[in-house]
Amino acid sequence: MTIRPIIAVPDPRLKQVSEPVEAVTDALRLLMDDMVETMHDAKGIGLAAIQIGVNKRVIVMDLSPSDHGDEGESSDRYDLSELKDETIRYFVNPEIVWTSEEMNNYQEGCLSVPGFFDDVERPKACKVTYLDYHGQPQELDCDGLLATCIQHEMDHLNGVVFLDHLSRLKRDMIVKKLRKQSKDTNVVEPL
Ligand code: ZN
């Protein structure tokens, strides 16, 4: 498995709509393995393929409570104590087929928007269909953090980042700071 570099806003690739996967092959499983390793290394709880520059409708997620997590789509910002049975999840060609009318607010972060967090309102629950790691069709009822996370990652597949849910003023301010940060990392060793 390989840790791949994560791309950040304002990289234009994050605005691409990702392509459906034709078949779950060994090559795709290798990609998913790399995504999990990259996500764990970055202390994230979710990652879409486009965040490592791969234009495919693939998401990995790990909401299991562990010692990983102080950055990005990060685990220590949320109460994960009720998610003891959670494990690594793989979503290929996911589709949200139902969302609740009830809404929920989470303070979201993103591995592609390093260092910034803000409240985003989304449906509290949703139902998602997808292919799993073995290419088998699955259906999952999501609630709470799982529902927020899958909707956040689905957004990535459609070229949307959580900043796009904020006011234009806030978004412009954050993008400006990120643009400056990415320039600075050319001269300063990134953390
Ligand atoms: Zn994200």
State the distance from the centre of ligand 1 to the C-alpha of 156, rounded, in angstroms.
7
Residues 123-154 as b/e (b if ≥16 CB within 10 A, e otherwise) read bbbbbbebbebeeeebebebebbbbbbbbbbb
List residues, by chain if needed, whose CB lies under 5 Å from ion ligand 1.
Answer: 110
> How far apart (Å, rounded) are the C-alpha atoms in residues 58 and 50?
8
Distance 169 CA to ligand 1 centre (A): 20
* Ligand 1 centroid, distance to 31 Cα (angstroms): 18
pLDDT average, residue stretch 124-149: 97
Global pTM value: 0.87
For residue 114, count other CB atoms closer than 10 A to its CB: 18
Residue 81 pLDDT > 90, yes or no? no
* Confidence class for position 123, pLDDT limits 50, 70, 90: very high
Instruction: Report CA(186)–ligand 1 centroid distance (Å).
Output: 23
Distance 65 CA to ligand 1 centre (A): 19
Q: State the distance from the centre of ligand 1 to the C-alpha of 73, rounded, in angstroms.
A: 6
Cross-strand pairs, 48: 59
pLDDT tens digits for 152-189? 999 999 999 999 999 999 999 999 999 988 877 654 44
Give the contacts of 53 (CB within 8 A, at least 6 positions apart): 4, 5, 7, 13
Residue 137 has pLDDT above 70, yes or no: yes
Write the pLDDT tens digit of every residue in 22-53.
999 999 999 999 999 999 999 999 999 999 99
Ligand 1 centroid to residue 153 C-alpha, Å: 6
Query: Catalytic amino acids?
Result: 153
